[in-house]
């Protein structure tokens, strides 16, 4: 009886996992292999708005599936990759692009890490200079004659 329960449980688990994996695939009727490759290349350049660290091509979120369908429909309508990207950025801002353009609103996104690195280097430099200044007088007192040690008590 136990082996039957275990077998049924294994089959049920396999069924759930396989349907979950199939739910992430949304087959689209591409005209040819070139169109499919264009679609894959374009969706790899776009960020999933739910997952944020996955491309639209890799995400299994329902919103990503909707956006993939939108991209496909726009391709079918004859729009270029740039027109599709402009349409998406008009709706979702530059955040939808993995490689956002350099402009005023994205300046901090591009140069923020460099500014943080420069601020950290500046803090280390100031700390080292302060410690070096405080270490000089104590080094001078260590070279005093032995009779001068009584003055410190």
Please give the C-alpha separations between residue 31 and each of 39, 42, 59, in angstroms, as whole numbers: 11, 16, 23
- And the tokens for 14? 């396999």
pTM: 0.54
Beta bridge partners of 97: 46
- What is the model's pLDDT at position 111? 85
| Contact between 46 and 88 (Cβ < 8 Å) | yes
> What is the domain partition of the chain in residue ranges?
27-100, 102-138
Task: Give burial (CB, 10 Å; 0-12/13-18/19+) of 74.
Answer: middle
Q: What is the pLDDT of residues 31-90, one digit of tens each?
A: 888 888 999 999 999 988 888 788 888 888 998 899 999 999 999 999 999 999 999 999
Q: Output the furthest CA–CA distance in the chain (Å, rounded).
A: 96
Fold type of domain 27-100: Helicase, Ruva Protein; domain 3 (1.10.8)
Q: Could you give the C-alpha distances from 150 to 134, 143, 145, 146, in angstroms and in order?
A: 22, 14, 10, 8
Average pLDDT, the chain: 79
Instruction: Kindly tell me if the per-residue pLDDT of 146 is higher than 60.
Output: no
Distance separating the N- and C-terminal Cα atoms of the chain? 87
């Amino acid at each position: 009886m136990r082996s039957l329960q275990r077998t049924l449980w294994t089959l049920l688990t396999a069924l759930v996992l396989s349907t979950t994996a199939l739910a992430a695939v949304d087959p689209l009727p591409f005209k040819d292999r070139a169109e499919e490759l264009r679609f894959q290349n374009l969706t790899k350049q776009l960020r999933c708005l739910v997952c944020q660290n996955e491309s639209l091509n890799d995400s299994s979120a329902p919103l990503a599936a909707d956006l993939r369908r939108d991209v496909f429909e726009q391709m079918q309508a004859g729009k270029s990759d740039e027109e599709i990207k402009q349409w998406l950025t008009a709706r979702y801002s530059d955040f939808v692009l993995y490689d956002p353009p350099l402009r005023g609103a994205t300046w901090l996104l591009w140069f923020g890490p460099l500014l943080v690195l420069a601020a950290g280097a500046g803090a280390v430099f100031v700390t080292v200079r302060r410690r070096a200044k405080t270490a000089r007088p104590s080094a001078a007192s260590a070279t005093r004659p032995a009779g001068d040690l009584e003055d410190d008590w």
